[in-house]
A and B are shown apart, each in its own frame.
Chain A
Amino acid sequence: MLKPVLSANWDEKDSFTIDGYKRHGGYEAAKKALSMDADAVIQLVKDSGLRGRGGAGFPTGMKWGFIPQNDGKEHYLVVNADESEPGTCKDMPLLMANPHVLIEGMIIASYAIRAKHAFVYLRGEVAHVARRVNAAIADAYKAGYLGKNIFGTGNDLELTLHIGAGAYICGEETALLDSLEGFRGQPRLRPPFPAIAGLYARPTVVNNVESISAVPAIVANGADWYQQFGTEKSKGMTLYSLSGHVANPGQFEAPLGITLRQLLDMSGGMRAGHKLKFWTPGGSSTPMFTEEHLDVALDYEGVGAAGSMLGTKALQIFDETTCVVRAVLRWVEFYKHESCGKCTPCREGTWWLVQAMKDIETGKATEADLDKLLDLCDNILGRSFCALADGAVSPVASSVKHFRDEYIAHINNKGCPFDPVASTLFAGELA
């Protein structure tokens, strides 16, 4: 049921080194791709069915195909390694254990879109990941895989690691580009899309770490090989990140379409003596699910049809000890803190969401305030440049939908009926 490809060698103690990577055929796919026609590489990725693993699920090959060719302009590849969506924890372990697979994917992608300079935008709060990526880039330069005349093919590629400084919004691709240009990270109005006017207003592809890292195996094994995994419209395998009140949290690389029930069954289920209450399929910005969604196929279509989004496949699991109002309030506080302030509905709306949620959690609200909360959501959703504010609305609206009674209980009880100690992992120790 599992199919480790990206994660296949993470248990080797030198998996992050160039030797460890080459021992398993590393950089052979790049050599192969560079001997192909660049358009054929784009076609191969299109044929594989690979879709973006950063949340939106846009077909990767199609994105590459949008870059205008023979336009006389510089092209850029930018990898989004900002991984900051609450619950999301797949790209950081990937880069810590195997940074070379990303570099090889970037060599292939840059060749396909005719980019001579590529960037990794890494979040700033992960020093050891920065070290590993930086060392891997240096080793790839030394080996002649980056720089001038890479692999002796006459192609050039510069690769720059750019390290952020703690702004969730920079995971949004146009805010990321502004940040990389040296400005405050604020989203841009689209169109123009990055494929036409991206970094320095030049044609730019922005892809997630996992999307680009999937490319070497596709080039090595072919589109047909990749197509055999996954479901009809969600091809290949991906990293599912299980966290929270489960017996054994962790990373699980599996073909798209596996269910949470299957993942829980194989990993030991919920923590002992507790039952599932609510969970996110793909980070805090994706509407929450409950136990009725245990058998939803975790692919782009399956999760979408069930009313949420596959997102980053960050499966955050909460058991019955967790107060959903407290959980959502904390997420809303996050969105308020991380709102860049550019769009009024987001800047002001997330502030009001926090006030309204806080009043409910602390017992100051009436039932009319619950309607006001939902009214706020209506006035925020879809009214900003980027999806941050929509993400803030998701947990609020979905939790009221599934747990309206719990909100009412806070109002009637004049406060939170839950004991926060019961939901900690060291409840006994604190008691």
Chain B
Amino acid sequence: MSIEMFSDSDYAVIDSIISRYPRKRSAIMPLLHFVQSKAGYVTNEGIEMISSKLEIETAEVTAVSTFYTQYLKHPAGEYHVGVCINTLCAVMGGDAIWESVSEHLGIGNHEVTADGKVSLERIECNAACDYAPVVMANWEFYDNMTPQKTKDLVDGARNGNPPAPTRGPNKLPTFKENSRVLAGLDDGLAHEGVSAGEASLLGLKLSKEGK
């Protein structure tokens, strides 16, 4: 069975994803990311495709899809912007950033601007606390953020020219493009960006000063 939104070359990718695992059901998560790379969210067609390829009920695919926060029930913006509101980032400015960017765009949590360009999410700790307050765009790091820098980020995104991530590729990929990366597919950008940010290198630097 083939589902219209997926081409033959998509099915080749889908089969290659399934072949990574000793048991095919394990491919459900990368396949859900792959569906998001086509549609910007988890569509019914995507659920049917996975159900058919993995030979499990659609209800089981939906059960998995709805468990994980990153699988979206509605289309993300072309640029999905997450503001960390876990304790440390929130206290250091994340709450203020959230309030200001949400007001600036006139949208709330998991809402999308009318032009479809930017969606917002209140996100949990993203493992970059030494760069707090942290903002993620399409799951790329924007370190040491302020309300103004975050507004600049979303304004740039709406104009099709977002600033580059702090530790990431030279140009911010779209939500769909990065969903391919999360499906485990190579986009050729691994060599771009720094090896490590300044905070990551602080201990190393101090040790070279004899500490």
A→B interface (CB under 8 Å): 1-4, 7-8, 10-17, 74, 83-89, 91-93, 96-97, 117, 123-128, 130-132, 134-135, 138, 160-168, 179-185, 200, 240-245, 248-254, 266-267, 284, 314, 316, 318, 322, 326-328, 330-331, 334, 337-338, 340, 420-421, 423-426, 429-430
Asked whether B200 is an interface residue with its Cβ less than 8 Å from the other chain, the reply is yes
Query: B117 contacts the other chain (Cβ, under 8 Å)?
Result: no
Contact call B68/A86, Cβ cutoff below 8 A: no
* Residues in chain B near residue A252, CB distance under 8 A: 202-203, 206
B124-A338 in contact (CB<8A): yes
Contact A124 B91 (CB under 8 A): no
Q: A1–B206 Cα gap in the complex (Å)?
A: 10
Contacts of A164 in B (CB 8 A): 29, 68, 70
- Kindly identify which residue among A15, A83, A124 contacts B195, using a CB–CB cutoff of 8 Å: A15
B96 to chain A, nearest CB (A): 6
Q: Could you tell me which B residues sit within 8 Å of A by CB distance?
A: 20-23, 25-30, 32-33, 54, 63-64, 67-71, 82, 85-88, 90-93, 95-96, 123-133, 136, 138-141, 146-148, 165, 167-169, 173, 178, 181-184, 186-187, 189-191, 193-207, 211
User: A residues within 8 A CB of B32?
Assistant: 165
Q: Are B126 and A126 in contact (CB under 8 A)?
A: yes
Chain B residues in 8 Å Cβ range of A15: 195-196
Contact A249 B187 (CB under 8 A): no
- Tell me the nearest residue of chain A to B141, going by C-beta: A128
B85 near A330 with CB under 8 A, answer yes
Contact of A88 among B127, B140, B183 (CB under 8 A): B127
**Contacts of B28 on A, CB cut-off 8 Å?**
182
Top 6 nearest A-B pairs (CB, nearest first) are A250-B202, A252-B203, A165-B68, A135-B190, A166-B69, A182-B25
Which of A135, A180, A250, A421 has a CB less than 8 Å from the CB of B186? A135
Q: Which of A10, A180, A242, A337 contacts B196 (CB 8 A)?
A: A10
Tell me the number of A-to-B contacts counted with CB atoms below 8 Å. Answer: 272
Q: Is the CB of B92 within 8 A of A330?
A: no
CB atoms of B195 and A180 under 8 A apart: no
CB distance B22 to A248 under 8 Å? no
Are A13 and B139 within 8 A (Cβ)? no
CB-contact partner of B88 in A11, A138, A166, A244, under 8 A: A244
A424 and B91 form a contact (CB under 8 A):
yes
The one of B25, B88, B140 that contacts A181, using a Cβ cutoff of 8 Å: B25
Q: How far is the CB of A187 from chain B (nearest CB, A)?
A: 13
Contacting pair B189 A165 (CB below 8 A): no
- In whole angstroms, how far apart are the Cα atoms of A316 and B125 in the complex? 12
**In the bound complex, CA of A134 to CA of B23 (Å):** 21
Kindly list chain A residues whose C-beta atoms are within 8 Å of the C-beta of B181: 127, 130-131, 134
A131 touching B187 by the CB < 8 A rule? Answer: yes
Which of B95, B165, B182, B199 contacts A251 (CB under 8 A)?
Answer: B199
Closest to A132 in B: B190
Neighbouring A residues of B167 by C-beta, 8 Å:
96, 128
* Interface contact B195-A14, CB-CB below 8 Å: yes
Smallest Cβ distance from B72 to chain A, in angstroms? 10
Chain B residue contacts of A267, Cβ below 8 A: 202, 206
Given the complex, which residues of B lie within 8 Å of A250, measured CB to CB?
Answer: 130, 198-203
Instruction: Give Cα A123 to B127, complex, Å.
Output: 10
A303 to chain B, nearest CB (A): 19
CA distance A185 to B70 in the complex (A): 14
Q: Is the CB of B140 within 8 A of A127?
A: yes
B85, B87, B138, B197: most-surrounded residue (chain A CB, <10 A): B87
Q: Which of A167, A241, A250, A318 gathers most chain B CB within 10 Å?
A: A250
Is A126 a contact partner of B127 (Cβ separation < 8 A)? yes
B106 to chain A, nearest CB (A): 20
B204 to chain A, nearest CB (A): 5
Question: Are A241 and B25 in contact, with the CB atoms below 8 A?
Answer: no
B29 and A165 contact, CB distance less than 8 A:
yes
State the Cβ distance, B101 to closest chain A Cβ, in Å: 14
- Determine if A127 and B168 form an interchain contact, defined as CB atoms under 8 angstroms apart: yes
Q: 30 A-B contacts, Cβ less than 8 Å apart?
A: A2-B204, A11-B204, A13-B194, A86-B88, A87-B88, A123-B127, A124-B139, A125-B123, A126-B126, A127-B182, A128-B141, A128-B168, A131-B189, A138-B186, A160-B20, A165-B70, A165-B182, A181-B26, A182-B64, A183-B64, A242-B130, A249-B130, A250-B199, A251-B130, A252-B206, A254-B203, A331-B87, A334-B87, A337-B124, A430-B147
Given contacts A10-B195, A126-B126, A165-B71, contact A4 B207 (CB under 8 A): yes
Alpha-carbon distance between A200 and B85 when the two chains are bound, in angstroms: 36
Q: Indicate whether A248 sits within 8 Å of B202 (C-beta atoms), given known contacts A165-B71, A184-B64, A424-B92.
A: yes
List, in ascending order, chain B residues with CB within 8 A of A7's CB.
200-201, 203-204
A331–B147 alpha-carbon span in the complex (Å): 22
**Closest CB-CB distance, B112 to chain A, in whole Å?**
18
Report if A241-B130 is in contact (Cβ < 8 Å); known contacts: A96-B196, A128-B140, A424-B96. yes
Q: A128-B169, A167-B69, A266-B206 are in contact. Are A244 and B190 (CB under 8 A)?
A: no
Q: Which residue of A lies closest to B28 (CB)?
A: A182
Q: What is the chain B residue whose CB lies nearest that of A202? A: B22
Cα–Cα, bound, A244→B86 (Å): 12
Give Cα A83 to B125, complex, Å.
9
| Docked complex Cα distance between A358 and B154 (Å) | 31
Min distance, Cβ A142 to any Cβ of chain B, angstroms: 12
A222 to chain B, nearest CB (A): 22
Q: Which residues of chain A are within 8 angstroms of B132 by Cβ–Cβ distance?
A: 243-244, 249, 425
Chain A residues contacting B182 (CB-CB under 8 Å) are 124, 127, 130, 163, 165
Q: Is B54 within 8 A of A166, CB to CB?
A: no
Residues of A within 8 A of B87 (CB): 86, 284, 316, 327-328, 330-331, 334
